[in-house]
Structure 1
Amino acid sequence: MLSLANFHSASRKQISGKASFVSGGTAFLFGCTLLAGSAWAEVPYFADQVKSGALPPMEQRLPEHPLKMDFAAEGKEVGKYGGDMVTIMGRSKDIRMAVVYGYTHLVGYDQNLDLKPDILESLDVNEDGSVFTLHLRKGHKWSDGAPFTAEDFRFYWEDVVNNDDLFPVGPPRFLLVDGEPPKFEVLDEYTVRYSWSQPNPFFLPELASTRPPFIYRPAHYLKQFHEKYQDPQKLEAMVQERGLRNWAVLETDMDRPYKLENINLPTLQPWIIRTQEPSDRFIFERNPYFHRVDPDGNQLPYIDRMIFNISNAKLVPAKVGAGEVDIQSRILTLKDYTFLKQSEKDKAYHVRLWDVGYGNYATLYPNLTVSDPVWRKLLRDLRFRKALSLAINRTELNRVLFFGLATARNNTVLPKSPLFKKEYASENIGFDLKAANALLDEMGLDKRNDDGIRLMPDGRPLEIIVETAGENPEQDDILELIGDSWKKAGIKLYVKALQREVMRTRAYSGDTVMSIFTGIDNGLAVPSTVPSEFVPVNQDSLQWPKWGQYYDTGGEAGEKPDMPAAEELMKLYEKWRTGGPGQQKEAWEHILDINAENLFSIGLVGNVPQPVVVADGLKNVPEKGIHSWEPGGFFGIYHPDTFWWDR
């Protein structure tokens, strides 16, 4: 099988499922499909609707070749229909996790992190990765029963991302290669092609990302809100009725496949949202036209309804311990483990500990693009960043907060990554106050006030405000312990709790000096993984948001990287982008070398196990898994549509 690590040698490797090849180096990527002749069993949940004629029978709702899940490879068993699956979210915004858990992509990762077709029946890629031909499943339908066809891709490309009113900055960056958009072609009703003059190594990883880009849209539904297709008077009436500015705002509001703000928007996900905001209980009902089946040909999902209850995050562990959920990982942390274990037997659930895919459980991000010139000069001095790191007692953090189960490490790839080197994780993380103080003195920060706090070059006390997203109480505990040790180095630490959106906005604008957040999302990177978390190409990277903004906007906003190490990272990123497998691996290694040497982010502890609570009787949930946003979508990669109740 070909994982992304081998993407550029696709013509010589099997990508997934079954593969065959033709001359010219084209790779064919196929998923497992169920051919005609299988015996179908109607979903009991839909029996009355089928009997009344409100829904067609199952064999007419499925594509001609549905995706047959490989239960043997995943260690699963064929299940039974029925029941609800309840979990808790901390905010109504988090209903978007239904998309994450649904894990329905054009192509997605399997549990071995190999790419497999999902929504697509197959995918052809030429040898240099510049031409991608997407084959849809004939007979696949949206959740409202309308056909899912090439027209949905054409509508997205021509009428959404290339419409100046809807996308004034043009198509998303992953669809551009050196600013060049693809040549988009509709080959037939079920086949589309994207072609570039150069390789596009971003295309498939983006299609498989936890937050999918949705390069297709339900054209039959959204055309009613588009100026190109709707009568102007009717369209204006809809705009006025909702009190909106113009038709583009209306169309955008109606077209939010990730945020799920429009409950009438057709979907391809396993469950359909049925509850309109605001609410403290969101119900997702099974999709009658979902394209996956189990090995016996039974349409998935097994579970009829997924329910998200909304609760204050501080109350979630108690609610979980009281048996109010069927499956839960979100908001739970290792410190909840002992409490949750105590109620296992009485409340009929089990607590499992999964590995994590984050590079670090908690990481400090000095903002190298902070607006304050004095802070900018300090934070960009490697001696200062090293001093901060050496003045942190990570052994104490691990012992006090994580029962000694965590690992002191930098914010870098995990040992399971083929790119891992031991020194990446261990450099500059030893607790050495003497060395930290010597580095600060060497910088000229040797003057102190009456409280023993060092003075900055402009006379201000060296007081660092660390901003948090206010979502993880453990981060406050971590910062309290760091504050104690930093004080011994003459540094005062203050904590400022914000909402995530506010914290990020302050970082983008240069107001933030330092923040704390989780480490890199994808600690399991392979050479063909986009190295964007280690290079200043994304404004969400809290260590260099303005540099990332500069790249994101093509130089229209933010600041051009002006540190030699950052400039070198950009050159290596270009080398990775244009190279084959060997060159990509070499670029990755140099990128990780530079990050380790320069300590752009200050890792604290990693490998903190994630508690996962599973109700007794809920089947096909792995005993051991990797809890990771990217890749994997937390539970998503284990396909909750295959979970079922044995009761």
Structure 2
Amino acid sequence: MVTRRTVLGALGCAVLPGVARAADREMEHEPDFLADRLLARSLPPISERLPKQPRIVPLKSMGRMPGKYGGTIRTIIGSAKDIRLMTIYGYARLVGYDERLVFQPDVLEAFQSDKDTVFTFKLREGHKWSDGSPFTTADFRYWWEDVLLNKDLTPGGGALELRVDGNLPRFEVVDDLTVRYSWERPNPNFLPALAGPQPLIIVGPSAYMKQFHKKYQDEFRLSALMKENRVKKWADLHIKMAREYRPENPELPTLYPWRNTTAPPAEQFIFERNPYFHRVDENGKQLPYVDKFILNVSSSSIIPAKTGAGESDLQATGIDFNDYTFLKDAEDRYPVKVDLWKLTRGSRLAILPNLNCGDDVWRNLFRDVRVRRALSLAIDRHEINMAAFYGLGKPSADTVLPESPLFKPEYAKAWIDHDPEQANALLDEAGLQIRNDDGIRLLPDGRPAEITVETPGESTLDTDVLELITDHWRKVGLALFTRTSQRDIFRSRAQGGHIMMSIWYGIENGVATADMNPQQLAPTADDQLQWPLWGMYYLSLGQNGKAPDLPEAVELVNLQNSWRASSSMAERTEIWHKMLSIYTSQVFSIGIVNGTLQPILRTARLQNVPKQALYGFDPTCYLGIYMPDTFWLNEEQV
């Protein structure tokens, strides 16, 4: 049996009373999980593993308790690619958000921004990657010179967040602990991109990655590595071995609190504590408290059932509000607790008319704001809120929540009153005044106004809500039909113009601040279902898709570009409000209910999990900003 005193002896500590007490104090900060490695001297003591200035997490001032080491947390994921949750939950970022959504240095010791044009980053002296190799400015230089500027590895010239007017920044190593990125004009998107759920990557473990780079590896060895990893190009090898967001390579050094130890394919992925993680609690105990995360792969459809059967110690994804009653009942059968966090989406569900749909008649109708407003006014949101959300949500347009400093009541109230009379009048004005014998309006080409709303079918909530909306729209002369398809097919059909309308989530970030990019309000991405071709055009810098030709959409793009060039909070705030006003007034997405709740199930033994919090992908990173590395298992708790 390995004891603390055994480890002390093996480390050469004299067992004299004074020395032993000092060594004991150091060993109190060592997890038992690492005892064998410490005994074998394959791992240095904690004083040599931590940076000279680790990040101190003030748990007591955050309303949490200092914890104890040990234990394993089980969670369930819907597919192997969902191991990316550990990148999101782990939430170790160069610069990250705190719980108030304010930027804080995290991996960095400090950062400085000069008018959002010059960003200076200071590293923590003595910081190490999870394999014990130094984390230094050389890792930033490698990523800049040998990855971002390498046309084989980065053929597009770098992420949009790194380019201002198409130009990359100037990169410089100021000294052994300092790097700097400078642009000629402001880049306010730089810090939000670093802090996001899928962070912008500007640094990597160079000592490890050089073996996969043709500049540093001989051709014979590189060819063998390519064959071993089943890729045909050295660039594909480097990309595969460096993938951080979906950490499939167990050998890749990381800065996250836990590292993957399981290579795919697998039905279970085991993440173990990073012995070099840079955070400590106020008592000097290195985080994380929990030794292991085990991610069990299951079918998405049965995650709620497995969770309710006691097979998860911490579950947030794969379950929904309509599972709440079932999960709450599990508290009577298992030592688990279920809390409700507030979703940060602009709308829990939104109806998205496709302004790029392939049907000329419907495309022209959807581009008529009178039609979009009529569709919104015809919906009885109170009925949906009571029937689907037990009255716990709030009828709203698809916009920011009251928790956002950008919130205004007029945005939330835009075109959401249940007013069939006004809806009918607007549809008549739009040229749909003629109806057939069944009371369904006729399109300009004589077809009945039959709208097919498509859904990826991942939640019965979609179809339940659509059943109610079917009745609402029928009363204003519109027939609604539902079509379900798998998510990949669903997105492909949308981008191909085959979907006329879809039901999906509302805007991602409903708790935005002016410092966050308002790109979700403009056609900027090909997965925005209301204008995928316009978004593709923006994303590809005009190489694919189509340029927006609706004046209000063009204005949103121009405003978003203005935000990207802004250098003051006042300017950004003004831009945000202009965009929110246009987006809600034009009803580019038809919000239904927001402020809805997300169940979070945890074992009763798990401490420091907030009872109430904000839950979303961006910017809160699901559980990430609440620092799961500070969660701990109290074995005395039942």
Shorter-normalised TM range: over 0.9
TM-score for both structures, normalised by structure 1: 0.91
What's the counterpart of residue 521 of structure 2? 534
Q: Name which of 332, 343, 355 aligns with 2:319.
A: 332
Which amino acid in the other structure matches residue 619 of structure 1? Q
**Which range is displaced more, 403-412 or 445-454?**
445-454
Is the CA contact (8 Å cut-off) linking 1:39 and 1:297 kept in structure 2? no
Measured at CA, do residues 527 and 493 of structure 1 come closer, stay the same or move farther in structure 2, by a change above 3 Å?
same
Residue in structure 2 matched with residue 244 of structure 1 by the alignment = 231
Deviates more, 1:201-210 or 1:85-94: 85-94
After superposition, residues 571-610 of structure 1 pair within 5 angstroms as: 571-579=558-566, 580-610=568-598
Q: Which amino acid aligns with 1:595?
A: Y
Q: Residue 98 of structure 2 aligns with which residue?
A: 110
Partner of 1:321: 308
Matched, 1:415 2:394: no
Partner of 2:241: 254
Name the structure 2 match of 1:143.
130
How far is 1:443 from its partner?
Answer: 2.0
Other-structure match for 1:494: 481
1:215 aligns with 2:220: no
Partner of 1:433: 420
Q: Is the 8 A contact 2:443 2:449 kept in 1?
A: yes
Among 237, 248, 255, the residue aligned to 1:268: 255
Hey, what's the Cα distance between the residues in 2 that align with 1:453 and 1:91?
A: 43
Matched with 1:355 is 342
2:374 aligned partner:
387
Instruction: Provide structure 2 residue ranges, at least 5 long, that are not aligned to the other structure.
Output: 1-24
SS of 1:337's equivalent? helix
Q: Is this contact kept in 2: 1:120–1:135, CA < 8 A?
A: yes
Equivalent residue number for residue 12 of structure 2: none
288, 296, 317: which one aligns with 1:309: 296
Correspondence 1:156-175 to 2 at 5 A: 156-175=143-162
Alignment RMSD (CA, Å): 1.8
Q: Does 1:119 align with 2:77?
A: no
Alignment correspondent of 2:58? 70
Kept in 1: contact 2:76–2:298 (CA 8 A): yes
Aligned-residue offset at 1:599: 0.4
- Partner SS state of residue 174, structure 2: strand
Partner in structure 1 of residue 387 of structure 2: 400
CA gap 1:177/1:472 in 2 versus in 1, 3 angstroms:
same
Task: Give a deviation string over 1:509-529, Cα, whole Å, max 9, x none.
Answer: 333222221111211112222
Could you give the per-residue CA deviations for residues 186-209 of structure 1, whole angstroms, max 9, x where no partner exists? 123322110011111011111111
Q: Deviations over 1:24-71 (max 9, x none)?
A: xxxxxxxxxxxxx98862111001111111211111111111111111
Q: Deviations over 1:139-169 (max 9, x none)?
A: 1111111111112111221221222112211
Deviation at 1:495, TM superposition (A): 2.3
- 1:46 maps to which residue? 34
Q: Which amino acid aligns with 1:129?
A: D
Contact 2:248/2:260 (<8 A) preserved: no
Letter paired with 1:300: L
The 1-side partners of 2:58 and 2:456 are apart by 39
2:200 is the counterpart of 1:189: no
What is the alpha-carbon distance in structure 1 between the residues aligned to residue 130 and residue 167 of structure 2? 34
Percent identical residues = 49
Q: Which residue of 2 aligns with 1:342?
A: 329
> Residue 248 of structure 2 contacts residue 262 of structure 2 at CA under 8 Å; is this kept in 1?
no
Aligned-partner SS, 1:466: strand
Count residues with an aligned counterpart. Answer: 610
Residue deviations 1:2-33, cap 9 Å, x none?
Answer: xxxxxxxxxxxxxxxxxxxxxxxxxxxxxxxx
The yes-or-no answer on 1:442 pairing with 2:429 is yes
The residue number in structure 1 matching 2:191 is 204
Q: 2:271 aligns with which of 242, 262, 284?
A: 284
- Counterpart residue number, 1:12: none
CA contact (8 A) 1:81 1:644 kept: yes
> What is the CA–CA distance in structure 2 between the aligned matches of 1:533 and 1:73, rounded to whole Å?
34
Structure-2 separation of matches of 1:279 and 1:375? 46
Q: TM-score, normalised by structure 2?
A: 0.92
Q: 1:553 aligns with which of 540, 543, 550?
A: 540
Provide the rounded CA distance (Å) in 2 between the counterparts of 1:500 and 1:218: 34
Please list, as runs of the form range in 1=range in 2, the aligned pairs for 1:491-530 lying within 5 A after superposition.
491-530=478-517
Per mean C-alpha deviation after superposition, the further-off stretch among 110-119 and 273-282 is: 273-282
Distance 1:245 1:466 in 2: 42
* Matched residue, 2:11: none
How far off is 1:334 after superposition?
2.0
Q: 2:354 aligns with which of 349, 367, 385?
A: 367
- Following superposition, the deviation at residue 469 of structure 1 comes to 2.7
Q: Which deviates further from its counterpart, 41-50 or 506-515? A: 506-515
> For 1:583, what is the secondary structure of its paired residue?
helix
Distance 2:356 2:631 in 1: 46
1:436 partner amino acid: A
What per-residue deviation string (whole Å, max 9, x for no partner) do you get for residues 238-269 of structure 1?
32344423111121111210112222211111
CA distance in 2, matches of 1:90, 1:240: 30
> SS of the residue aligned with 2:333?
helix
Letter of the 2:379 counterpart: I
The equivalent position to 1:621 in structure 2, one of 609, 616, 627, is 609
Task: Judge conservation of contact 1:74–1:111 (CA < 8 Å) in 2.
Answer: no
Tell me the CA shift for residue 603 of structure 1. 0.2
CA gap of 1:392–1:575, structure 2 versus 1, over 3 A, is: same
Shift of residue 90, structure 1, vs aligned partner: 1.9
Structure 1 counterpart of 2:466: 479
Is 1:61 the counterpart of 2:45? The answer is no
Q: Is the 8 A contact 1:40 1:59 kept in 2?
A: no
Q: Could you tell me how far 1:425 is from its partner in structure 2?
A: 0.7
**Against the structure 1 CA distance between its residues 503 and 157, is the aligned structure 2 distance closer, same or farther, given a 3 Å change threshold?**
farther
Partners of 1:94 and 1:442 lie apart in 2 by 48
Letter in 1 for 2:585: E
Q: Deviations over 1:595-639 (max 9, x none)?
A: 121000000111111111121121111111111211111111111
Shift in CA distance, 520/148, structure 1 to aligned 2, threshold 3 Å: same
Structure 2 CA distance for aligned equivalents of residues 195 and 363 of structure 1: 40
Q: CA shift at 1:173, angstroms?
A: 0.6
Q: Is 1:424 the counterpart of 2:411 in the alignment?
A: yes
